[in-house]
């Protein structure tokens, strides 16, 4: 089955063509980062306008790269939420029009589910049940993922934990701004932290009650704000390098501590990391080391599939299309679309071990 994936939930206009949910025939990503950098973050109105300009050439580029035409695909998958409403509408409406005019089945994909599928390209035989940590600019969620089929063809999700305030990527971007770095700051902090001393500054890891499996990053961010207010020199190298490394260590420890706590209670077969922040070199390193230490398999996507892309949307969409989970042309974008929200594994429930 050959599927066209379309992703426009935030500031990337992306199209991909994927065969059988595995083989990537084309993967085109246009990043709007240059448009938004002067404003220090994504400007929704500018994002939707640029998606409008780019959606057609990007989809055409994907077909050209794959050496295929519209008649060669078996279905279309587009992100329907969560994200910026104006941005989502561009990709979803384009997909609906293509599906309607060419009589192709259409799947609406949750962006977060897409991120979870980004792991499937490198690790099609990943073991379930898994704990999937999705860390991006907009989300920090931990899911319990079971498979009906033992593989990626039919996954079911329960929410285990989420951030109580900022998303991990948001914390990175805000701290970067405080330190005078450009948007998006996550990759820059990652680079600067490599030469800094991660023990230079101590952050108190926010206390989340023992049974809760949530995350919190705003305390760490506010601590950086206070430190910088008290000592302007922290905005300059070499102190800035140490601050980046120490901040990053606090974020990575927050992410690992909650994930480990959940793993000890739920006993998954593996841990899956995805989302833009999964590109972080220290996060990948710490999770790989500690998961191995805890006897857990650990899977993460190739760098190109960590940040927003349409290949992951095509992969998640393929699973849906194969199960006949199609949508009609009346499907709407939902900026607050949730994955498994009504199905949260409550932290105060008694766990079977
Ligand atoms: O998944 P994504 O492309 O978009 C959302 O769905 O939000 O994630 C973008 C986020 C940004 O906050 C960016 O700063 C962060 O991922 N990010 C990183 C790294 N690369 C991207 N954060 C830390 N380290 C990185 N190497
Ligand atoms: Zn994303």
Over residues 6-51, the pLDDT tens digits come to: 999 999 999 999 999 999 999 999 999 999 999 988 999 999 999 9
Q: What local confidence, expressed as pLDDT, does residue 340 receive?
A: 84
Same domain, 133 and 176: yes
Nearest ligand, measured from the Cα of 186: 1
Same domain, 256 and 274: yes
Residue bearing the CA closest to ligand 1, atom 14: 186
Q: How many CB atoms lie within 10 A of CB 180?
A: 11
The best mutation among 87, 276, 282, 301 to test binding of ligand 1, ranked by most ligand atoms within 8 Å of the C-beta, falls on 276
Same domain, 296 and 276: yes
Same domain, 67 and 140: no
Residue bearing the CA closest to ligand 1, atom 21: 276
Q: What is the dihedral of CA 289, 293, 299, 304, to 10 degrees?
A: 0
Residue 214 lies in a domain: yes
Residue 255 lies in a domain: yes
Same domain, 159 and 296: yes
Please, which residues have CB within 8 angstroms of residue 13's CB and are 6 or more apart in sequence? 7, 29, 30, 32, 50, 51, 54, 55, 58, 90, 91
Q: How many CB atoms lie within 10 A of CB 292?
A: 11
Same domain, 161 and 112: no
User: What residue has token string 């480990």?
Assistant: 260
Q: What local confidence, expressed as pLDDT, does residue 322 receive?
A: 98
Residue 351 lies in a domain: no
What's the domain count of the chain? Answer: 2
Residue 279 lies in a domain: yes
Q: Is 342 helix (H, G, I), strand (E, B) or coil?
A: helix
Reading the block at residue 35, the tokens are 């448009």
Ligand 2 center from residue 99 Cα (angstroms): 24
Residue 201 lies in a domain: yes
Same domain, 87 and 132: no
Residue 330 lies in a domain: no
Could you tell me if the CB of 7 is within 6 A of ligand 1? Answer: no
Residue 122 lies in a domain: no
Could you tell me if the CB of 268 is within 6 A of ligand 1? Answer: no
Could you tell me if the CB of 169 is within 6 A of ligand 1? Answer: yes
Q: First CA to last CA across the chain, in angstroms? A: 39
Same domain, 107 and 61: yes
The residues with which 23 forms a beta bridge, in sequence order, are 19
The Cα–Cα gap between 244 and 349 comes to 37
Q: What local confidence, expressed as pLDDT, does residue 342 receive?
A: 54
Same domain, 153 and 267: yes
Same domain, 85 and 156: no
Ligand 1 center from residue 206 Cα (angstroms): 22
Same domain, 256 and 196: yes
Same domain, 318 and 278: no
Per-residue pLDDT tens listing for the chain (353 residues): 999 999 999 999 999 999 999 999 999 999 999 999 999 889 999 999 999 999 999 999 999 999 999 999 999 999 999 999 999 999 999 999 999 999 999 999 999 999 999 999 999 999 999 999 999 999 999 999 999 999 999 999 999 999 999 999 999 999 999 999 999 999 999 999 999 999 999 998 777 766 689 999 999 999 999 999 999 999 999 999 999 999 999 999 999 999 999 999 999 999 999 999 999 999 999 999 999 999 999 999 999 999 999 999 999 999 999 999 999 999 999 999 999 865 566 544 444 43
CATH number, residue 92: 3.30.420.40
Residue 60 lies in a domain: yes
Sort strands 140-147 and 130-135 into parallel, antiparallel or unpaired: antiparallel
DSSP at 303: G
Residue 249 is part of which domain span?
Answer: 127-300
């Amino acid at each position: 089955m050959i599927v066209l994936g379309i992703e426009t939930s935030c500031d990337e206009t992306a199209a991909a063509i994927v065969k059988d949910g595995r083989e990537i025939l084309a993967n085109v990503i246009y990043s709007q980062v240059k448009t938004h950098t002067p404003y220090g973050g994504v400007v929704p109105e500018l994002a939707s306008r640029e998606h409008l300009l780019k959606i057609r050439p990007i989809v055409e580029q994907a077909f050209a790269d794959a050496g295929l035409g519209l008649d060669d695909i078996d279905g279309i998958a587009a992100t329907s939420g969560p994200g910026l409403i104006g941005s989502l509408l561009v990709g979803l409406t384009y997909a609906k029009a293509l599906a309607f005019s060419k009589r192709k089945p259409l799947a609406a994909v949750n962006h977060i589910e897409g991120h979870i599928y980004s792991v499937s390209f490198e690790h099609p035989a990943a073991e379930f049940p898994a704990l999937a940590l999705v860390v991006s600019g907009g989300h920090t969620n931990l899911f319990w993922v079971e498979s009906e089929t033992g593989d990626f063809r039919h996954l079911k999700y329960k929410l285990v934990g989420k951030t109580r305030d900022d998303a991990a990527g948001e914390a990175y971007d805000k701290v970067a701004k405080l330190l005078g770095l450009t948007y998006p700051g996550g990759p820059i902090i990652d680079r600067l932290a490599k030469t800094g001393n991660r023990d230079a500054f101590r952050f108190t890891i926010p206390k989340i009650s023992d049974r809760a499996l949530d995350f919190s990053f705003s305390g760490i961010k506010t601590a950086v704000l206070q430190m910088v207010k008290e000592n302007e020199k922290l905005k300059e190298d070499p102190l800035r390098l140490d601050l980046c490394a120490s901040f990053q260590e606090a974020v990575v420890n927050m992410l690992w501590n909650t994930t480990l706590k959940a793993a000890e209670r739920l006993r998954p077969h593996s841990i899956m990391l995805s989302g833009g922040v999964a590109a972080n070199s220290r996060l990948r390193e710490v999770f790989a080391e500690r998961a191995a230490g805890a006897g857990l398999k650990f899977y993460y996507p190739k760098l190109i599939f960590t940040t927003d892309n349409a290949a992951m949307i095509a992969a998640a969409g393929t699973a849906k299309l194969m199960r006949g989970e199609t949508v009609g042309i009346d499907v709407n974008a939902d900026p607050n679309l949730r994955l498994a929200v009504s199905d949260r594994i409550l932290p105060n429930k008694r766990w079977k071990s």
